Structure 1
């Protein structure tokens, strides 16, 4: 009896190229140990200082790390250290959405169905109050729309402004940083719409919504 052809073996995912593996290890070291000098990082990795510096510059260009000057232990000569940016921190797993879901679920269980929206509306009102200093009343409407879109981008929404042929302005959010929560609690999206109205002082209509499977959250500004 002859043996049949060998069974195919599953293909493992190709390993990362060596430079990318080194960059990944650099990020892990900064995550675990906090700010580090290039000499410290090179020693941990077993590479030359110039080699480590090249990888660090690449990571800086990607916005994943930043450099600052500090004194070790508050004393001694200042030295340059590298640390993760918010974007670099975001590359590591987080459970913020699960925590938020748990909190909202308990809020509704303890205080009733409308309680989650009340909490989220209170948050929106607080954010609108904070934005009042950045968006003074004397701003022209189009300047206010652009400034608000820039603030939204800083909050992770990747927002852009558009203007129709008839002069109508739109804010388009191309990312939803709270998508997991928004899909289970539409109150979050209702509260966000209220924030738009409070900040812009104009009627706002949401035409599309990422949480409903569409490609963006598109807000029409004005009637």
Structure 2
């Protein structure tokens, strides 16, 4: 891969992981000049992968803030989305909503067993959250966590089952219950940002 292509992909990855950025902020992340970053953004814009808007940030002139378009987000894999959506529709039409719900609940239980097995031996809540982030990252969710003054912020910058979740939001509800069960009844897990509600990522506040 040549340097230009590498920077091209890196710019998209930064905007996916970190959200909208100004030209100067992106240049700093890429460790290139603002002119170099501008060239990358204009190229990405021409491909329909990024867009910009004028945003006021305190005093001074508004800044051009760059973010991914839907096409830009689609550069990241959605696990067999069309096939999964068709399966959901067929199950719903032929077996009914109750059967679909049972399948999703059974999948959630499988995930819970997997998470609990991998968390076995974890002593602290942070240990469990760290392991959960590693698991979800391997599953394609681009997950990580941050420690806050009153708990932990668990972040997923991508949803590899987004189209399936749009077709059936029981996936999201089951996922939240699975997190809660894996981390323990003494822990509170609250979803505060949701991709399906228009947020750029899913975020969960976790408190002991």
What TM bracket, shorter-length normalisation?
Answer: 0.5 to 0.7
| Partners of 1:116 and 1:187 within 8 A in 2 | no
Q: Which runs of 5+ in 2 are unaligned?
A: 6-74
**Per-residue displacement from partner, 1:58-110 (whole Å, max 9, x unpaired)?**
xxxxxxxxxxxxxxxxxxxxxxxxxxxxxxxxx9x998211111111122223
Partner in structure 2 of residue 216 of structure 1: 201
| Partners of 1:117 and 1:191 within 8 A in 2 | no
Give the 3 Å change call, closer, same or farther, for CA 94–194 of structure 1 in structure 2.
closer
Distance 1:18 1:171 in 2: 34
TM-score, normalised to structure 2, is 0.58
TM-score, normalised to structure 1, is 0.54
Q: Which runs of 5+ in 1 are unaligned?
A: 1-16, 22-90
**Per-residue displacement from partner, 1:142-170 (whole Å, max 9, x unpaired)?**
1101110111001000111112222x112
2:168 to 185, 188, 198: 185
Alignment of 1:67-78 (within 5 A): none
Partner in structure 2 of residue 135 of structure 1: 119
| Structure number with bigger Rg | 1
Per-residue deviation, 1:118:
2.0
**Per-residue displacement from partner, 1:159-210 (whole Å, max 9, x unpaired)?**
11112222x1121101111111112211111111121112111331111111
The one of the two structures with greater contact order (alpha-carbon pairs below 8 A, sep at least 6) is 2
| Partners of 1:209 and 1:217 within 8 A in 2 | yes
Q: Which runs of 4+ in 1 moved over 4 A?
A: 17-21
| Superposition RMSD in Å | 3.0
Distance 1:149 1:19 in 2: 30
